[in-house]
Amino acid sequence: MAENTDKMVIDGVELVGIWKEFMPSRILYEDVTTEFLNEVKKLPGGETIAKCYQCGTCTGGCTLPEFVDKFNPRGFINLVRRGHYDLLVSDYKELVWKCVSCNRCTHRCPKGVNTQEVVRAIAKFLEDRKVFGKLTNDEAFDEVFMDEVINDGRIDEVKIVKDFYAKTGRLKEMMSGDQLSLGFKMFTSGRIKLFGGKIKDWKKVSQRLKEELQ
Amino acid sequence: MKLGYFPGCSLKGMARAYDESTKIVAEGFGIELMEVDDFNCCGALEAKGSNEKLSYMLPARVMDSAKGRFHVDAVVTPCNGCYHSLLRANAAMNEDSAAKSDVISFLKDVGYGTYEGDIDVRHFLELFYNEVGPEKVKNAVKKSLKGLKVASYYGCLYERPKTITKTGYKSKRDDSENPYFQDELLAATGAEVVKFEAAASCCGGAHALQDESLAATLSAAVLSAAKKAGADILALPCPLCGAALDIKQPEIVKAHGNDAKIPVVYFTQLIGLAMGKSAKDLKLTDPISNPMEILKSKGLV
Ligand code: SF4
Ligand code: SF4
């Protein structure tokens, strides 16, 4: 601990010691850059990030800290707002995407931050900057899901699982023991039916949605 | 009140037991549901992480179809995920004028163009509680579920976030921190609803494929809390939680042991059973977690 020579005397009583040391300043103003904050704000769901006043209610009620060490939505927001990009990447990139979308944070946030969507936007911000070095499972799933919705109009559970495993290079695993016997059981009981994409005029809707994405 | 019924993709696939038991229960209590059978996927959690406008357009098309075809006052869905998507689009239509005009022009291009954020979205559990209620359920019981201990599980998006469920601003919504509608309905069947602290915890289902081991850990926590509370069976109002807690249960038990082994059913299946409907019609043989065994041993099927 650095030596603290500050003196503080009130009414003749000396209060000194190391009083300043257990309250280190949390914000180093010269460090702050809003570059990353502005980027996250522009992503889907990131709009409300700047409203956060760092109370920590979200983290206090979050599902994950009990199961995932250092998972901390307030902290993720803080790092983005202070522009601590390197720290976000080095220590937190594998955590941010673990959010399970339970929405306890958004529900309780006293400032109206859409915390769950902000956390998703921060993960997307990292994905867009390619810090993972590969397609994440989240990206892979979102892609196959959205492709299927836009093309067929509905989700076929078997197809989505198959496409997801294919995209993440794990098709073999899907065709192995447990998964296959479960699939067989569901198929013979009639719970698995293949949806043939029969929504009337879906082609037109699909076309319009694709235009929206361009 | 005219009601459009939006089952969502899951109920037309693996969760068909929820679809069929919902219809049986609704019919039995005189709730007329007009099924929006040309529905599309609501976009779930994936659309909102991918493209903001699309995440409003997909649910809006469902609402537009219900309103344009059937002139409904509200759309009801039994799925927590669909409920979230529809409410979220509804909120955006009412709070964000740019989003509203984008959506309306989309609907004019591809649909009826009648929906303007002006019809209500309801969860079947909430609707059933408010329009029918525990008293009427009690009076309609043909076969009491006495002796069956039930853990009543709600999952996440049924009661939160309040920014879109408008809990506290809209009458008739369940308590968002301590939901109780399903507890009271199940108690009305004669079943014993156990005190269960994970009732509104997250099952991790949203990441069931993307992050399997964490999702299994969260599911195991819910299932074992139910078992620890002394429940024979767990009842729920969401097909996504159903997939996570039932279909995935063999894998969960493999990783976390028999503490996580407990039969899982939809709440509508139990209400249907108390109404005297058959296990076959209610598709009680569908769940992988095998509720038939315990129901048989209690003399209920
Ligand atoms: S609860 Fe809201 S204001 Fe408080 S730290 Fe979390 S996001 Fe920020
Ligand atoms: S939505 Fe994500 S960040 Fe928010 S409370 Fe749930 S797990 Fe935590």
Q: Show which of B67, B94, B123 is a domain's final residue.
A: B123
Give the closest-approach CA distance of B92 to chain A in angstroms: 12
Ligand 2: residues with CB < 6 A are A 62-64, 73, 99-105, 115-116, 119
Separation of CA A150 and ligand 1 centre (Å): 34
Q: Which two tokens stand for residue B141?
A: 């019981």
Instruction: Please report the pLDDT score of residue A33 as a whole number.
Output: 83
Question: What is the per-residue pLDDT across A55-101, written as a single tens digit (0 to 9) for each?
Answer: 999 999 999 999 999 999 999 999 999 899 999 999 999 999 999 99
- B101 has a pLDDT exceeding 60: yes
Separation of CA A104 and ligand 1 centre (Å): 11
Residues A189, B204: C-beta atoms closer than 8 Å: no
Chain A residue with CA closest to B247: the answer is A182
Instruction: Please report the pLDDT score of residue B50 as a whole number.
Output: 86
Q: In what helix (H) or strand (E) does residue A13 lie, and over which residues does it extend?
A: strand A13-14
Instruction: Please report the pLDDT score of residue B243 as a whole number.
Output: 95
Instruction: Please report the pLDDT score of residue B169 as a whole number.
Output: 76
Q: Show which of B123, B151, B177 is a domain's final residue.
A: B123
Q: Give the percent of chain A with pLDDT over 90.
A: 64
Q: Which two tokens stand for residue A60?
A: 């206090």
In CATH terms, is domain A13-128 a member of 2.60.120? no
If asked whether residues B224 and B268 sit together in one domain, one would say yes
If asked whether residues B38 and B180 sit together in one domain, one would say no
Residue B129 lies in a domain: no
Q: Show which of B123, B157, B183 is a domain's final residue.
A: B123
Interface list for A 95-154 with B (CB within 8 A): 98, 100-104, 106-107, 112, 114, 116-117, 120, 124, 137-138, 140-142, 145-146, 149, 153-154
Q: Give residue A17's pLDDT band: very low, low, confident or very high (50, 70, 90).
A: low
DSSP A23: S
Choose between A15 and A37: higher pLDDT.
A37
Instruction: Please report the pLDDT score of residue A175 as a whole number.
Output: 74
- Mean pLDDT, residues B264-285 taken together: 98
Q: Domain range spanning residue B67?
A: 3-123
If asked whether residues B88 and B142 sit together in one domain, one would say no
If asked whether residues B75 and B10 sit together in one domain, one would say yes
If asked whether residues B81 and B9 sit together in one domain, one would say yes
Choose between A119 and A31: higher pLDDT.
A119
Instruction: Please report the pLDDT score of residue B128 as a whole number.
Output: 98
Q: Give residue B49's pLDDT band: very low, low, confident or very high (50, 70, 90).
A: confident
Q: Which ligand is nearest to the CA of A121?
A: 2
DSSP chain B: --EEE---TGGGTTTHHHHHHHHHHHHHTT--EEE-TT-----HHHHHHH-HHHHHHHHHHHHHHHHHHH--SEEEES-HHHHHHHHHHHHHHHH-HHHHHHHHHHHHHHS----SS-SEEEEHHHHHHHHTHHHHHHHH-SS--TT-EEEE---STTT--HHHH-BTTBTTPPPSSS--HHHHHHHTTTPEEPP-TTTTS---GGGTTTTHHHHHHHHHHHHHHHHHTT-SEEEES-HHHHIIIIITHHHHHHHH-GGG---EEEHHHHHHHHTT--TTTTTTT--TT-HHHHHHHTT--
Q: Residue B105 sits in a domain of what CATH number? A: 1.20.1050
- Mean pLDDT, residues B218-238 taken together: 98
Query: Counting one residue from A and one from B, how many pairs have CB atoms under 8 Å apart?
Result: 154
Q: Give the percent of chain A with pLDDT over 70.
A: 77
Give pTM, 2 decimals: 0.92
If asked whether residues B150 and B259 sit together in one domain, one would say yes
If asked whether residues B53 and B94 sit together in one domain, one would say yes
If asked whether residues B70 and B175 sit together in one domain, one would say no
Pairwise CA distance, residues B151 & B175, whole Å = 18
Report the number of distinct structural domains present in chain B: 2
Q: Give residue A2's pLDDT band: very low, low, confident or very high (50, 70, 90).
A: very low
Residue B128 lies in a domain: no
Among protein residues, the one whose CA lies closest to atom 4 of ligand 1 = A55
- Mean pLDDT, residues B89-115 taken together: 95
- Mean pLDDT, residues B237-242 taken together: 97
If asked whether residues B214 and B271 sit together in one domain, one would say yes
Residue B96 lies in a domain: yes
Residue A23, C-beta contacts closer than 8 angstroms, at least 6 positions apart: none
Q: Give residue A1's pLDDT band: very low, low, confident or very high (50, 70, 90).
A: very low
By mean pLDDT, which of A14-18, A149-153, B13-17, B141-145 is the weakest?
A14-18
Q: Parse chain A into domains and list their residue ranges.
A: 13-128, 137-213
**Residue type at A169 in one-letter notation:** G
Q: Residue B203 sits in a domain of what CATH number? A: 3.40.50.11810
- A28 has a pLDDT exceeding 70: no
Instruction: Please report the pLDDT score of residue A184 as a whole number.
Output: 67
Residue B177 lies in a domain: yes
- Give me chain B's average pLDDT, please: 96
If asked whether residues B114 and B180 sit together in one domain, one would say no
Residues of chain A with Cβ-Cβ distance to B206 below 8 Å are 100-102
Residues of chain B with Cβ-Cβ distance to A45 below 8 Å are 48-49, 52
Residue B153 lies in a domain: yes
If asked whether residues B97 and B209 sit together in one domain, one would say no
Residues of chain B with Cβ-Cβ distance to A114 below 8 Å are 161, 163
If asked whether residues B165 and B267 sit together in one domain, one would say yes
Question: What is the per-residue pLDDT across B155-196, written as a single tens digit (0 to 9) for each?
Answer: 999 999 999 998 877 778 999 999 999 999 999 999 999 999
Give me the sheet containing B192-193, strands edge to edge.
B192-193, B149-152, B233-236, B264-266
Instruction: Please report the pLDDT score of residue A30 as a whole number.
Output: 62
